[in-house]
């Protein structure tokens, strides 16, 4: 939904109860996937824009794992594209 909003130049509100951990982690996950940021870069980016943002330790671990998964997925997509262009 976030990427669709961005592509359509529409604003999208991401919120949770306190706006500290869950919503910050979700925004960071988006940045990792669609802006190719590392988990540290994404969290820092969110923190600069939302001063109280502090994803909890569990979310930080999941964001690091998500970064690794996104890198693998992107590499796999690139390989498939290369193979198609060769064929």
Active-site residue numbers?
A: 16
Alpha-carbon span 60 to 46, nearest angstrom: 13
Alpha helices (H) in 1-87, listed in sequence order: 2-7, 22-34, 39-49, 57-86
Is residue 56 helix, strand or coil?
coil
Q: How far is CA 13 from the centre of its chain?
A: 15
């Amino acid at each position: 939904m976030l990427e669709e909003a961005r592509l359509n130049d529409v604003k999208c509100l991401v919120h949770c109860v306190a706006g500290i951990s869950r919503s910050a982690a979700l925004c960071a996950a988006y940045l990792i996937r669609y802006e190719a940021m590392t988990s540290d870069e994404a969290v820092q980016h969110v923190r600069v824009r939302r001063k109280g943002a502090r994803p909890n330790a569990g979310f930080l671990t999941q964001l690091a794992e998500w970064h690794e998964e996104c890198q693998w997925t992107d590499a796999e997509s690139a390989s498939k594209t290369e193979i198609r262009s060769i064929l």
